[in-house]
């Protein structure tokens, strides 16, 4: 899930053996890279989340578990509601599938579906399955500093590379200087129009790392519509083999 705001900077609180650099020594690209690594767990990670989809006339909550290994492998299992429980999504490098146990059907997702909302939310399939990379597919520029909710922040612009086949034309991130935590992001299309805004709050220690546990995604052109994600649990650098991310495991994992 690396294309979203819920990505946070590597710092002392992470408990890793990397010496923190002075702020003036960090380039925009280094900040983005460390942010990406911390949220993904460097080599692998596991998370439990609840996603509430809010619409003007209704709302519903989807609960799920996710496993990821480096940039190439991801597996997501829906655990609630009951009618969607057991549905899974798999990414293996550049190929992606969904498995629906109620109809006993495995579907390969074409690239054209990456921009569609995942499970009817304001997140895209690309966000959930991590098809693109905020480190490799963008150039990064430090735009200055701003204060968000009383927190002095770095303001960093991510601009899509010309040869990158990705959804967003550019992104803007605000990262708390004290704790190196991203608390706001704006995502723009190729024409420079704002598509959605994201905010993060309710910081908690999860597996030794300070992370936001409450995320809110608001589309720019849909009044009364948003998606809320609550992060319940996260683990980092767990042991996962490539064989874990298989079509067979899609059908049996619980």
Among 85-89, 179-183, 210-214, 220-224, the least confident range = 179-183
Whether the pLDDT of residue 232 is over 70: the answer is yes
CB 240 within 8 A of CB 69: yes
pLDDT digits (tens, 9 = 90+) for 143-182: 999 999 888 888 999 999 998 888 899 999 998 887 778 8
- pLDDT for res 115: 76
Residue 64: helix, strand or coil by DSSP?
A: strand
Task: Give percent of the chain with pLDDT exceeding 90.
Answer: 59
SS (H, E, C) 71-137: CCEEEEEEEECHHHCCCEEEEECCEEEEEECCCCEEEECCHHHCCCEHHHCCCEHHHHHCCCCCCCC
Determine whether 224 is exposed, middle or buried from the number of CB atoms within 10 Å of its CB (0-12, 13-18, 19+): exposed
Whether the pLDDT of residue 189 is over 90: the answer is yes
- pLDDT for res 18: 32
Task: Give the pair of three-digit tokens for residue 230.
Answer: 């609550």
Q: Residue ranges per domain, the chain?
A: 29-238
Q: What is the CATH code for 29-238?
A: 2.50.20.10
């Amino acid at each position: 899930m690396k294309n979203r705001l819920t990505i946070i900077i590597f710092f002392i609180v992470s408990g890793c053996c990397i010496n923190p650099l002075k702020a003036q020594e960090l380039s925009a690209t280094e900040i983005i890279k460390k942010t990406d690594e911390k949220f993904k767990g460097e080599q692998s990670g596991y998370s439990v989340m609840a996603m509430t989809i809010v619409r003007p006339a209704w709302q519903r909550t989807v609960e799920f578990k996710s496993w990821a290994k480096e940039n190439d492998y991801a597996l997501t299992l829906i655990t609630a509601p009951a009618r969607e429980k057991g549905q899974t999504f798999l990414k293996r490098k550049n190929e992606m599938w969904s498995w629906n146990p109620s109809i006993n059907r495995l579907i390969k997702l074409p690239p054209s579906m990456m921009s569609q909302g995942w499970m009817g939310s304001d997140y895209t399939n690309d966000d959930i399955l991590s098809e693109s990379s905020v480190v490799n597919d963008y150039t990064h520029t430090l735009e200055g500093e701003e204060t968000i909710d009383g927190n002095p922040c770095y303001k960093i612009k991510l601009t899509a590379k010309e040869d990158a086949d990705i959804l967003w034309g550019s992104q803007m991130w605000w990262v708390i200087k004290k704790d190196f935590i991203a608390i706001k992001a704006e995502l723009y299309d190729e024409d420079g129009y704002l598509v959605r805004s994201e905010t993060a709050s309710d910081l908690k220690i999860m597996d030794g790392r300070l992370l936001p546990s409450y995320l809110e995604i608001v589309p720019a052109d849909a009044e009364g519509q948003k998606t809320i994600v609550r992060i319940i649990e996260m683990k980092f650098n767990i042991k996962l083999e490539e064989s874990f991310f298989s079509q067979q495991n899609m059908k049996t994992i619980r």
